[in-house]
Amino acid sequence: MFFLKEKSKKFYQNAQYLFEKEDDDLAAFNIEQSCQLLIKYLIAKKTGEWPKTHDLNALIKILSEIYQKAEIYDYYQKNELFFDDLSDAYFTSRYFPKVFSKNLLEKFLQEYKNFLTFLQDEVDEPLDFDI
């Protein structure tokens, strides 16, 4: 299951690279994939398996329950628009000709960095992402 964390880091690094190259729709997709895989890794680390869903709401709720930290789901609810936008990026960047602005991608990256910092503190594990 450690491979999930490594893939998550690679998607994050790729998102940063794509952002610099102004390939914003694929950068958004990579941020979502990084987020999804990181949450699955943290769940698998505790339970030995990961959920097969792609729904960030469901994944974060499971993560919150497994770590017995209501703060994790509270964070999701306070930042629901960010996570909804990430979920939209997963679908629209793959199946629709949606264009993401540089400004929006900058916000995605910053919000994701905030989430990574928050998770590190909540699960008490260094995630080793370049944030």
pLDDT in tens, 51-102: 999 999 999 999 999 999 999 999 999 999 999 999 988 888 777 777 888 8
Cα distance between residue 117 and residue 90, in whole Å = 22
The answer to whether residue 127 is domain-embedded is: no
pLDDT tens for residues 114-126? Answer: 999 999 999 988 9
Examine residue 79 and state whether it is found in any structural domain, yes or no. yes
Cα–Cα distance for residue pair 129/11, rounded to 1 Å: 11
CA distances from 111 to 1, 2, 32, 96 (A): 25, 24, 12, 24
pLDDT of residue 50: 96
- CATH code of the domain covering residue 54: 1.20.120
As a whole number, the mean pLDDT across the chain is 93
Q: Is residue 52 part of a domain?
A: yes
Q: Is residue 37 part of a domain?
A: yes
Tell me whether residue 125 is in a domain.
no
pLDDT for 111 equals: 97
- Residue 60: domain span: 2-119
Q: What is the pLDDT of residue 100?
A: 84
Residue 11 lies in a domain: yes
- 29 exposure class (CB count in 10 Å sphere: 0-12, 13-18, 19+): buried
**In the chain, % of residues over pLDDT 70:** 100
**Gyration radius from the chain CA atoms:** 14
Number of domains the chain contains? 1
| Claim: this prediction has a pTM higher than 0.75 | yes
User: Is residue 131 included in any domain, yes or no?
Assistant: no
The pLDDT value recorded for residue 21 is 95
